[in-house]
Structures are given as C-alpha cells and as structure tokens.
Structure 1
C-alpha cells in the first residue's frame, strides 16, 4: 500500500506540471456552463483531485479525496466508457443513483484518461447542481479530445523525467571512453532537446487553440505533440539499449559466427526478400564473445547494407573473412593471450557514405544528410562500435558516395 501511495503522489505531481490543464478546465466550464471541473487520479482504492476549477463551492481542492466507491469515476474505471448526464432527475439510470444523491448535482460529464500503454489513469470530469445540455457532438468531442491531450502531456512529462535520468546515467557511463564522452553534450543539448523544444512550442499553440475552442486545430496540434513524444520515447529507448551494452554480468563464450549470420538472415528475411538481396558469405571463424551482442553487431551492419541499397542496382552484400597475425593498428587493440586477429568485412553496393560523414557515422544519433528520411534513429553503428570495444576489437568504414560501403570488423582470434 505504501508503494501505491508514493506512485499516486508522483502521478499527481506530473499533472500539476502540465500548465495547459488549467486552461482546459476553464474551457470546459465556459463551454458547458458547469461550475466544477477537475482531473482526478482514480484507482481501485482512491479518488484524488489533481487539479480543480470550483465556482460552485463544491469544496474539493487539489489533493482532496472522495471515497472512491461513492463516485461515478469508479464505474468509469471499470468499463472505460464516458458517462454523460444532462439531467439526473430525468435519467432512468441515474435518478436514484447514490452518487448524485450524495453530492447533490444534476448534470455530470466524465471521460476516461487512458495512458499510451493502455492503462487507466483517471478522469476529466465536470459537475453542476443544475441541468446542462451535454449530449451534443461539440461537447462530447471536446471532452474526448481534452482527455487525449491530458494523456499526451502526461506522457510528455514522463518522457522529460526519463530523458533527464537517462542522460545523467549515460554521462556517467560515457566517462569510460573519451570518444563516447565527447558525444554526451550534443545528445543532451541537441538530440533530445530538439523534439522537446517542439513539444513546448506545440503545447503553447495548443493552449491558444483550446482557448479559441478551435477543436480541429487542437486535434492537429495534438497529433504533432504525440509524434514528437514518440520520437523522444524512441530516443530514450535507444539510449537505454546503449547503456545495457555496459552490462558487467554479460559473460564471454565460444561463438560460431556462421550461426550468428544465419540467425541475422532469418531476422532480416522479409527485407532481404523484398529487395531481392544477393548475400554472399565466406566461412566464418569461432570467436570468444557475448552471443547476443555479436548478433546485434552483425544485424545492424547487414541491415544498414540492405536499408541503404541502391535503387538502380540489385543489392549485393558480401561478408568475407581473413586472419591477421597482429593488429594492423599497433596498440589500438588491447594486448591479450590471443594468437592473432580475424578481420571480417561487410561490403555492399549501396548508396555509400559521404567522406565528410565517415568520422561521424559511429556517433549516437548520427544521420547523414542523405538518410534522414530513412528508417532508424542513427544508433545502430554506435551500438556496433560499443560492442566491438566490449570485445577488445576495432571497427572502421570505407566508402565513396554512390559506390557502396565496406565495414571492417577486427576481433581477437581464439
């Protein structure tokens, strides 16, 4: 029970951080003529007012509670359907209902607030001691939209919290690598901030649209807010995945790279078939490594070769292997007991990479000017470099724009 109370307190604080909600409640009261409106957090055990507008002295303040069993919101929590009552005394369903009898209202409207993950959060509700004309498309459409907007903004606040925590955690982890540490400031100052900046701009525009009761404009802005929120969510997920690569509990074992490539091809089978890719693979060696990480490594490399194929040529991806008696880059690889190194090349005939971008492609969220419209968030190659470093190896790229690319992976031999 203590854990639930802490979670509820955090949820209420999140609602309080959303400035647009006060405007939404004002619009609700002005449009419906009702005197009380609120956003409530509703669970099986509790009904708590997060933000209220009270012009009828109903008596609730932010943080105030009602016995959840006494509320219609409790029924909405169960069935996730809106409840609209124009006139309690003329309603066959609610004329003898315990809630209006207890609280003395004649009109009531409430819409469920459903979070992005499908969970029920609470309700956007309004009441008044007098009847109101609520069953019309404008009123119901407005409440439905406002409930969705509150859900969007709750997601936004949570994303802001997550982005702060993730970047802080990542900055600590990046101190282990000077090159990765170099990337921290751009991630914090630009990559995450840009979609969050758009969220703030669209939110301000949304406040203006709701004050003017321009529902169509508000809905369009809500879609833009949702799109940018999803972008932030994907970036946070990518950063979290990057952080997981530092898992100290991951252990090394003998890995058959032929099986790794076979598994990767199975995962990419739809893409390979869709683009009629010709895949040529040499016999690959056994290496000492972390199986899941090595599968991620080759998945991203092969997927990149397929994704950035040339539309004017049949895609060909070649994976070749050779042995090296020593590191070609002197001390770049950590010394160990290995007898030599294996060099694996993944070569394609795709669109290639501009020379100006070759130094940046392994940075987190790096995307060249030619691939911004393509799928992916610019994290795959950053994952690859991190994985290679975890395996005391090297990765490098060679390319000429328009003539394909070659990625070379060097790993210690067994």
Structure 2
C-alpha cells in the first residue's frame, strides 16, 4: 500500500471514538459488518472495521472500487441505503450484492472540511434490515459528520504540532547562537577593560581619563548585558542558571555591590543598611547579581529626588534583602509582567538594557529555593527577596 493510503488509514485509526462509533452503528442497525473506508478513483481501502461476519476484510484491506457500491456514493456525493436487495428493483440485478452476498447495505459519504471526498461509513449484512427510517438515516449521517469533523481537528492538531516543533527548533537554534555569540564577546570586552585600566595608569591627563572612564563604563555595561543573555539562554535551554552553593559571609559582598552602583550612578543617593555577619549557605556571586539587578532597576525607574534604600538582615530563620525606591505607583498588571523575559516598563529608556534583569532575579531566587515579592503602594515600590530557613553564623 502506498504512503498516501497508509496515511488515510492512520488518520482514521487516530480517532479514538471510531471503535465506539462502529459498535453503536452495528447495534442500532443490526448489521454485522460495519466499517469506515477511504475511497479513491481506483481503490476502496478499509480504515477501521467491525466484522462479526468474518468477511475477511481488516484494517488496510483493499478492493477495486468498481466491485463496491461506494463508487456510486463517491460519484454522486449522496448516501446509498438498501433495506432489502431482493425487494429493490434498482438493486436486485446489481452484481455487487449478488457477488458479495448481502441483502442490507448502507454507505454514507464522509467529506473533509474543504468539501473534498474522503470515503464512507458503510455496513452490510446477509439479512434484510430496516435502515431507511428517518431516525436511523439521520443518526448515521451524524456519525459520518462526526468522523469528518474529527479528521479536520486531527489535521489541524498535526499541523499545529509540526509548527510548534519547527518553532521550538528555531528558538533553540536562536538561543544557542546567542549563547555562543555572548561567550565569544567576552574575550574582546575583557581586552577593552584591561586596556582602559592600563590607559588610566599611564595617562594621568584629566581629559584623556574622562574618555577612558567613559569607555570603561560602556564596556562594563556591555559585559553585564552579555552575562544577562548567557544566563537567560542557560535558563531557557534547560541547564538552568549555574549555582555554586557554599557557606559565605554576604555582608562584604553586598556592600561591594552598593559601592559599585554608587560609582556607576554618582548623581544618585543609595542608603544601605546591611547587617554585619550575614553568614548563610548560598551562591554569593549570584546574590550579588540579584542585588545589582534590583538596584539598577530601582535607579532607572525610581524618582531621582529620593534615595534608593537597600536593607539586608537575618529575620529569625530567614535572610531578607529589600530594595525600595520612590516614584510612580505600579499597577498590578505591570507587577505581573515584571519578571517576564524581555519585559520593559514604559518608563525604561531604550539604552538601559535588554529587559532580562528582573527575569534573572527571579531565576536566581528560584534556584536558591527562595522567593521574590513586589509591592507598590503610596508611590513606594519594594522588591523583597526571602531565603530561608538559614543558619546564622
């Protein structure tokens, strides 16, 4: 059997309701052979069969369509229903009933959604049966229509799944490309940063120092963007953001982040209340990245007239880190989108980042089995990271 016919058989076999449809039709009509067949110009192919007569036809069986009455159904597009061959002047002398030995027969056309002909829902029996009453005819047409609709639904599902697989493969390829590109960018960025350090030491000229410092800050920002992209692709491609959990004192790490952000945003005020001796098991570099991203977000979106406030402490068995800024109150719809990748608030300027910072914050919090919460009331927005239980050192 060629691939096209096999595909048609598989289409019917994929419909889980088909066996129940055949059983119901057989019980309703009393016919002991019922099937769904795909019909072409040359072939009649059994796609699903209920055979209590041992006719010898099974799934995939193939007949010359000219030896069946389904050829007439295909050509006319109308059902053929025979209660009793011997009592029918039109069918009494027909070769097909005589050769196949049946007295009752029906064949209901099955059309695809686009109007093209697929085949038939058909049945036969050596004994006469009452098939042509309105209820039976309507019910058999209903079952044929049900098969038709399911064929279309399954076709759409297959197409959707194929599109989804293609889109997924494209997305994975794109993310792999981004990861490789980001990795390769690190080397030239490292050279630029090293070069700015050398220039700063060797050229004390204030004008040159200003230009070199601008280059250094731009390269540092580019390096942070590359790191964000790499973390994003790791998270999306299944390996997750890598973690190195260990016992550490977070206090100096968090203080260093605050000092670095003060250097990057010298015109802004940052008030920090970081408790001493914050000993806990974590990845300190990732917690530093989390705080850096939260601080950058607060500095970009917060009011320039009010300081950004950072607090870190152990509260009972929990480590709690908060970053708060004054400014416009956030609507719940905005809060709901904050941790989505590539999400940008309306207040964000085009040069401030890729929209991955808060997404990575959320990934880091989850990787630590912690939580990140946002509240925005009365013009004050607070990001709260909780991690616990932890052991105080």
With normalisation by structure 2, the TM-score equals 0.45
Larger Rg: 2
